[in-house]
């Protein structure tokens, strides 16, 4: 009898041990599966970040710029309303997830173009305010402004072509006022304090003429560098003529 009970106890212990081992193996397998899934998800996220350029700040900046350039091309070719984020991603040969890392909507792209332009203007104005009021500095301010206009001419043309669509954006309401503020700042830098109205108007017309001259002739010349020199020198002549009269 005793031998029988001992055998039963041994069998029960063996069964429990086997069940415990199976349970442990099952848990380990489940944990391994979860870890594998987590690893795959992490690798997928990392791949999306790499594709979006998040891994390297320099690549991220280049990717953002490429997105802006391609978006401007498509907005110009098909119109703002006729272009989707999917089409932008396809031309870039990236996933929509990579595109969304930088821009969540088409409006975000347009807003970024305007913000980049304002950032360049602000940097120019800050530099001008740190310089003495001389003819050399005025000439350099105008030259740098011409370069800003030249670098952004495709975006400006696209915005002009899609005026009806972009004017409905919430950001468009303040864009005009922000632009006027910066032009006023440039006029202040290019004229003497308390300059008469005639001088200030002439200077404002010189600044406005930069955009008109560039936009009208940019697609008619083979050498953009020559056009920069011509527009910059003419704007300088107009501004300096006001100082000579004073």
In this prediction, residue 117 carries a pLDDT of 93
**Range of weakest confidence among 11-25, 66-80, 134-148, 178-192:** 11-25
- Say how far apart CA 130 and CA 111 lie, in whole Å: 29
Range of the structural domain that residue 51 is part of: 30-104
Closest to 199 in 3D by CA, of 243, 235, 237: 243
Q: Give the burial class of 24: count Cβ atoms within 10 A of its Cβ; 0-12 exposed, 13-18 middle, 19 or more buried.
A: exposed
Residues 211 and 111 in one domain: yes
Dihedral sign (CA 227, 231, 181, 191): positive
Q: What is the CATH number of the domain that holds 81?
A: 1.10.10.60
Residues 84 and 194 in one domain: no
Residues 70 and 117 in one domain: no
- Number of domains comprising the chain: 2
H-state helical runs in 53-134: 57-78, 85-92, 96-102, 106-129
Last residue of a domain, one of 74, 104, 134: 104
pTM: 0.71
Residues 67 and 144 in one domain: no
- Say how far apart CA 71 and CA 109 lie, in whole Å: 8
* Residue 61 domain flag: yes
- pLDDT tens digits, 32-61: 444 444 444 444 444 444 444 444 444 456
């Amino acid at each position: 009898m005793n031998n029988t009970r001992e055998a039963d106890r041994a069998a029960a212990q063996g069964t429990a041990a086997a069940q415990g081992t199976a349970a442990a193996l099952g848990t380990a397998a489940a944990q391994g599966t979860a870890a594998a899934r987590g690893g795959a998800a992490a690798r997928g996220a990392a791949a999306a970040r790499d594709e979006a350029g998040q891994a390297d700040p320099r690549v991220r900046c280049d990717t953002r710029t490429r997105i802006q350039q391609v978006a401007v091309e498509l907005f110009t070719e098909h119109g703002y309303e006729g272009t989707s984020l999917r089409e932008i991603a396809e031309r870039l040969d990236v996933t929509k997830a990579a595109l969304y890392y930088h821009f969540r909507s088409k409006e975000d792209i347009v807003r970024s173009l305007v913000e980049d332009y304002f950032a360049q203007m602000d940097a120019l104005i800050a530099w001008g305010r740190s310089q003495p009021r001389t003819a050399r500095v005025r000439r350099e301010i105008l030259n740098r402004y011409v370069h800003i206009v030249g670098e952004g001419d495709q975006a400006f043309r696209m915005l002009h072509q899609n005026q009806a669509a972009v004017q409905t954006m919430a950001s468009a309401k303040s864009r005009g006022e922000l632009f006027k503020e910066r032009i006023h700042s440039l006029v202040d830098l290019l004229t003497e304090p308390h300059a008469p109205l005639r001088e200030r108007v002439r200077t404002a017309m010189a600044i406005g003429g930069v955009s008109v001259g560039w936009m009208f002739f940019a697609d008619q010349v083979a050498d953009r560098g020559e056009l920069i020199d011509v527009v910059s020198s003419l704007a300088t002549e107009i501004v300096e003529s006001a100082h000579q009269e004073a």
